[in-house]
Amino acid sequence: MARRHQHNVLVIGSGAAGLSLALRLPANCRVALLTKADLNQGSTFWAQGGMAAVLHNRDTIDSHVADTLAAGAGLCHRDAVEFTVSNSRRCVEWLVEQGVDFDLREAPRNRPGKEFHLTMEGGHSHRRIIHAADRTGRAISEVLTDRVIAAANIEVFTHRVAVDLVVNNGRCEGAYILDEQSGHVDLFQASSVVLATGGASKAYLYTSNPDGASGDGIAMAWRAGCRVANLEFNQFHPTCLYHPKAKSFLITEAIRGEGGRLLLPDGTPFMQNFDERGELAPRDVVARAIDHEMKRLGADCVFLDISHKSPEFINSHFPTVMARCLELGIDISAEAIPVVPAAHYTCGGILVDNHGLTDVAGLYAVGESSCTGLHGANRMASNSLLECIVYAESAAHHIADNLGQIPTPTGAAPWDESQVTDSDEDVVISHNWDELRRFMWDYVGIVRTNKRLRRALHRVQLLQAEIAEYYGNYKVSNDLLELRNLAMVAELMIQCAISRKESRGLHYTLDYPELLPVAEDTILVPDNSPL
C-alpha cells in the first residue's frame, strides 16, 4: 500500500552533496534522505582523486580562480568560481571536524608538525589536491554516512527511486518515490526539496560512473519547469582501465600528476605532440589526444606508465589502483596500464544560483546535477567534490533561514496506478537502453559533427515516443524510470550540442572547429518554465 511521508526537507541523493547538506541543516529540522540503492553506492564513494582547496602558504585564492577560469575555456562564471574557491579552506576544515582522515606529511623544519599532503592534477598550477590516498571519495562518503545515520533528525530511506516532483501553485512541495521493496509509489511531502542525484554519464556506452548516474534529477527538474544549461559539455575521463573484467574502473588523474606517462602501444610517448603541458594538460585535451591516436592507429587502447616509480611509492599513493590491477594480472609497478577514455562527468545541469536554488520555488539542486557556473566548458580536476561541499553548505543555510516562513504542504494527491498493469515486456527496456547508450557514444561522443548530432536527435525522439507509451501503460520500475530520465537528458544534451556553433572546452565538432569571439551559455527553457 502506498504511503505518505511528511518532513521539513526532502534530500534526494546520498553522495557528498546530499549527505553534507543534510548534516548542515539545524537539528530541529526533520530531514528525509533518499538513496536509490544502499548508502555508499554513488559516484562520491568511487572518487579516487581528491578535493581541490587553497591550503598551502604558496598557493592563493586568485591562483585557484585563475586555473579554474582557464580550464573552463571562457565559460565559467567568475562570481561562482570566486564563491567556491574562497570557501574551500573552511569546507576542508568542516570535513576534518566530521572525522575525514586526509593524508598528512611531515612539515618543513621551520614549521614543525604535520601538514596536509597535497598532490598535483591536470590544469592546476600548484599542489592543492587534498586526498586520502586514492580513496578520497570513499573516505568522505563513509564518514558523512556514519554521521547521517547517527543524526536523530535525519531519516534515511534506501532503495527508493524518484519518479517525479510535486509542484503546486509554482512551488515544489515534494516528490513521488518508488519503494522498490513494496513496488508502490509513495508521496514524500516537504517544504524544501533538494536534488543531489548526480550526473548522466550512463547515457554513454563507456563510463567511469556507477549504474545510478542516469540523470534523474536533471530530467525531473526539466519536467517541473526548470531551465538547464551547458549539457553539451560531457567530460570524458582520459584513463579508464581497459580490461574485459574491469567494469567502469577509473585510473585516477593523480597518477599523471605524480609523473605517469601516456604511451602508444609501441611505447612511444605522445602527449607532448598535443600540448606543452603534456600529461598535465586538462582532461578534454588529454581525452581528445587519446581518442585521436586510437583512431589513427586502430588501437583498442593506449597505456599509462608509472612503473618508473618505486613499488613502495606506488603502493602508498595508489593502493586501490594497484590492488585492482593486480587482481586482473597487471602489476603497475612493472608494466603500463591499458586505458581508454570514458564518460565521467556532466558539467552542465539544472541552472542554480549560489544558494543552489532553481527556477522553481522550494527546489534546490546541488552537486553534479546542478549548473552553478563553476565548471564552464570543462571541469578542472578535483573541483567537483569541492563544489558539492560548498554549495551544500550554502543551500542548507538558505533552507534553514527560510524554513519558518514556508507553510507545510498538504495538497498533493497520492500516486494513481489504477490504470496500469505489470509489464511482461521488460526486454523493450533493455533493448532501448542499449540502443541509447550506443548511439550517444557513436554520435555525441568526444568528437562530433552536425550529421551525427542530427542522427542522434532523430533516434532519441523516436525512443522517447516508445518510452512514453510504455510508461503510460505499465507499472513503474527502476529500470523504466532510469531509461525515461536518461532518454530525456540525452535529448537535452543533443539539443545543447546542436545549438553551439563552435568548439569550446569539452564540446568539439569538426563542423565548427574554431572558438566564437564571445563565450555564452547554452540555456534551454522548458515550456512550463515559471519565468
Catalytic entry in 256, 283, 484, 504: 283
C-beta separation of 396 from 153 below 8 A:
no
Could you tell me if 65 and 109 are in contact, meaning their C-beta atoms sit under 8 angstroms apart? no
Q: Which distant-in-sequence residues (6+ apart) come within 8 Å of 163 by Cβ? A: 175, 176, 177, 178, 185, 415, 476, 481
| Residue for grid cell 519547469 | 225
**Alpha-helix runs per DSSP H in 242-303:** 254-257, 283-297
How distant is the alpha carbon of residue 530 from its chain centre? Answer: 26
Distance from the Cα of residue 464 to its chain's centroid? 24
Number of other CB atoms surrounding residue 383 within 10 Å: 27
Burial of 1 (0-12, 13-18, 19+ CB in 10 A): exposed
Burial of 367 (0-12, 13-18, 19+ CB in 10 A): buried
Q: How many CA atoms lie within 13 A of 508 on its CB side?
A: 15
Closest Cα partner for 42 from 202, 146, 198? 198
Grid coordinates of 291: 581518442
Please state, in angstroms and rounded to a whole number, the distance separating the CA atoms of residues 451 and 448: 8
The phi and psi torsions of 43 (rounded to 5 degrees) equal -65, -35
Q: Phi and psi dihedrals of 334, rounded to 5?
A: -130, -15
Does 283 qualify as catalytic in the annotation? yes
CB atoms < 10 A from the CB of 165, how many?
24
Distance CA 396, CA 402 (A): 10
Those residues with Cβ within 8 angstroms of residue 126's Cβ, 6 or more apart along the chain or in another chain: 56, 58, 59, 63, 64, 118, 120
- Sheet arrangement for strand 370-371: 370-371, 349-351, 228-229, 523-524
- The catalytic site residues sit at 283
